[in-house]
């Protein structure tokens, strides 16, 4: 593995998968072996004998490296609820050591591994560990997806503070529009640019039904400047 990034968001439903898949796609377009990973997914359907999460399908579709589903998505749960609650309901303990081993295996297959977290940066994975602990264990630079809506300034700045409190590098952030015609969009964007000491990798406009290929047109690969 030459490069790896951990994609987190200011909250759930802010477009982490869209941006993670767009990054995977951009790296693949540049000629690098690119693969996505979603260590923990909650909300899945039965496909044959496997549970398959929609976000995981999108990450797989964006890449150009074949990998076992168990490596791309080590933990998957059927109900679309907080991962630690879903795991508890089926008697499973989420082990970040297991996730680390899967990540290392993906790194042997690909030039670039994009890891997408679940929910926000501090979402619990169990009684004592959370998504931030996983990001720290993997020691990856972090890319923050900011969902552009009312409250995004506070959510973004708190998340940036949490990322840096773990000693992790913020490689950049992406402003993702969640609705058409957000009030004072430009003013909020300017506030984020002023206060986040990391490159803005892109501003993705609200496009009804847009996929990761379209989103990729509005973002740049980290470190490409």
Task: Let me know if 2 is a catalytic residue.
Answer: no
Q: Which among 16, 26, 38, 104 is annotated as catalytic?
A: 38
Distance in angstroms between the alpha carbons of the first and the last residue of the chain? 21
* Alpha carbons 212 and 24: distance in angstroms, whole number: 9
DSSP H/E element including 148: strand 142-148
**Buried-exposed string 79-117: b where 16+ CB fall within 10 A, e elsewhere:** eeebbbebbeeeeeebebeebbebbeebbeebbbbbbbb
Alpha helix ranges (H) inside the chain: 16-29, 54-62, 69-72, 83-89, 96-109, 131-138, 152-165, 185-195, 212-216
Instruction: Map tokens 């890449």 to a residue.
Output: 63
The residue among 171, 195, 47 whose CA lies nearest residue 115 is 171
Joined together, the tokens standing for residue 32 give 């690098």
The residues assigned a catalytic role are 38
């Amino acid at each position: 593995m030459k490069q790896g990034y951990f994609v987190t968001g200011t909250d759930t439903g802010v477009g982490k998968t869209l941006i993670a898949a767009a990054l995977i796609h951009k790296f693949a377009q540049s000629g690098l072996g690119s693969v996505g990973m979603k260590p923990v997914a909650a909300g899945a359907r039965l496909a044959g004998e496997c549970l398959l999460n929609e976000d995981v399908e999108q990450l797989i579709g964006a890449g150009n490296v074949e990998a076992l589903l168990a490596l791309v998505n080590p933990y998957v749960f059927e109900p679309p609820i907080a991962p630690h609650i879903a795991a508890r309901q089926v008697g499973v303990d989420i082990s970040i050591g297991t996730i680390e081993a899967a990540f290392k295996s993906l790194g042997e297959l690909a030039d670039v591994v994009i890891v997408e977290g679940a929910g926000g940066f501090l979402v619990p994975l169990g009684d004592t560990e959370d998504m931030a602990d996983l990001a720290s264990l993997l020691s990856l630079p972090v890319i923050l997806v900011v969902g552009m809506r009312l409250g995004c300034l506070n959510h973004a700045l708190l998340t940036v503070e949490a990322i840096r409190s773990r000693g992790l590098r913020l490689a950049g952030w992406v402003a993702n529009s969640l609705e058409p015609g957000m009030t004072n969009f430009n003013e909020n964007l300017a506030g984020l640019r002023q206060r986040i000491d990391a490159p803005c990798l892109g501003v993705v406009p609200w496009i009804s039904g847009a996929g990761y290929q379209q989103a990729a047109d509005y973002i740049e690969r980290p470190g490409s400047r």
